[in-house]
Amino acid sequence: MNIVLLGGPGSGKGTVSNLLEKTQNIAHIATGDMFREEIKNETELGKKAQEFMNKGMLVPDEITINMLKGKINQYKNANGVVFDGFPRNRNQAEALEKMLEEMGQKVDVALYLDMPDEDIIYRTVKRRICSNKDCGEIYNLEFKKPKQEGICDICGSKLIQRKDDNEETITNRLKVYHEQSKDLIKYYEEKKLIYRVELHANIDITEEMTKEWLANYNSNR
């Protein structure tokens, strides 16, 4: 199952992706991480992307699409992938669809995590993440505290706060997000692929809702 994950910054996309990866073996492709990895490894595509970034330009969709193609091939043994961070607009959605079609695949569902802005802000400033990249467990000082303060329950690494997880940054990002996503959500609504999950700030609910959605989705197939 290939999933396009939609939702504002801090709406729980990381939590949902981790859950899908661990319980369903659906690989998580976060576009931001993918760029960083390709650039660090100095791949052909990474070098090209870096050139655009150095000029302060957006990386052309064609480069991103080719990176995604490589990633999908890398995850052949998974039960599909979660696209997180791409597409961000209608053109990109169409490009993704075309690429998947050429690979004999498709987007099965656009999972839209719909959380009120105030909840997102409240939750984001309380978020802490595991500094161990292979673990990446997400905590929340309000809803999902680690057993030992500042330490990951799973791997024992230090928990960190992302520097972007503050009110001012998140408010700005939400504004940009809403402007960008309106059309994209409409696109997937027209395709009848959208599945809207209404969420509130409690992180445990995000997990519950995702499990419920999966159970429904699988039984209706």
Is 152 one of the binding residues for Zn ion (CB under 5 A)? Answer: yes
Which one from 162, 175, 191, 211 is the annotated catalytic residue?
162
The span from the CA of 38 to the CA of 196, in Å, is 32
CA nearest to 133, candidates 151, 150, 155: 155
From candidates 110, 129, 130, 203, binder to Zn ion by CB under 5 A: 130
Is 38 one of the binding residues for Zn ion (CB under 5 A)? Answer: no
Per the CB < 8 A criterion, the answer to whether 89 and 173 are in contact is no
The span from the CA of 179 to the CA of 181, in Å, is 6
CB of 125 to Zn ion, least distance (A): 21
Token digits of residue 115: 């959380």
The span from the CA of 89 to the CA of 97, in Å, is 12
Using CB under 5 A as the binding rule, the residues of this chain from 156 to 215 that contact Zn ion are 157
Strands of the chain, DSSP E: 3-7, 27-30, 81-84, 109-114, 127-130, 138-140, 159-160, 194-198
The reply to whether 127 belongs to the active site is: yes
Q: Interacting stretch for Zn ion, rule CB under 5 A, among 63-71, 84-92, 138-146, 153-161? A: 153-161
CB of 79 to Zn ion, least distance (A): 24
Nearer to Zn ion (CB atom), residue 159 or residue 194: 159
Is 155 one of the binding residues for Zn ion (CB under 5 A)? Answer: yes
Q: Which residues are catalytic?
A: 13, 88, 127, 162, 173
Q: Please report, as ranges, the residues that interact with Zn ion according to CB under 5 A.
A: 130, 132, 135, 137, 152, 154-155, 157
